[in-house]
Amino acid sequence: MDFGVVLQTNPPAARTVQLAQLAEAHGFSHVWTFDSHLLWEEPYVIHSAILNATKRVTVGPFVTNPATRDWTVTASVFATLNELYGNRTICGIGRGDSAVRVTNGKPVTMSELRESIHVIRELANSRPVEYKGATLQFPWSRGSELEVWVAAYGPLALKLTGEVGDGFILQLADVDIAAWMIKTVRDAAAAAGRDPDAISFCVAAPMYIGDDWHHMREQCRWFGGMVGNHVADIVAKYGEHGAVPDALTDYIAGRQGYDYNTHGKADNDHVDFVPDEIVDRFCILGTADEHIAKLEQLRALGVTQFAGYLQHDNKEETMRVYGETVIPALSAHVTAKA
pLDDT at 261 over 60: no
Question: Which range among 54-58, 65-69, 82-86 shows the weakest confidence by mean pLDDT?
Answer: 65-69
Residue 244: what residue type? V
In eight-state DSSP terms, residue 252 is G
pLDDT for the residue numbered 83? 98
Nearby residues of 34 by Cβ (< 8 Å), 6 or more positions away: 6, 7, 8, 9, 40, 43, 61, 62, 98, 264
Cα Rg of the chain (Å, integer): 19
Nearby residues of 321 by Cβ (< 8 Å), 6 or more positions away: 209, 288
The model's pTM: 0.89
* 322 vs 257 pLDDT, higher one: 322
pLDDT digits (tens, 9 = 90+) for 19-57: 999 999 999 999 999 998 888 999 999 999 999 999 999
Among 225, 233, 338, 324, which Cα is nearest to 272's? 225
Question: Which range among 21-30, 173-182, 222-231, 235-244 shows the weakest confidence by mean pLDDT?
Answer: 235-244
pLDDT for the residue numbered 338? 40
Question: Which range among 16-30, 100-114, 312-326 shows the weakest confidence by mean pLDDT?
Answer: 100-114
pLDDT for the residue numbered 31? 98
- Whether the upstream peptide bond of residue 274 has omega within 30° of 0, thus cis, is no
Among 276, 261, 330, which Cα is nearest to 39's? 261
Q: Is the distance from CB of 60 to CB of 87 less than 8 angstroms? A: no
User: CA torsion 240→242→244→246, rounded to 10°?
Assistant: 60
Q: How confident is the model at residue 336 (pLDDT cuts 50, 70, 90)?
A: very low
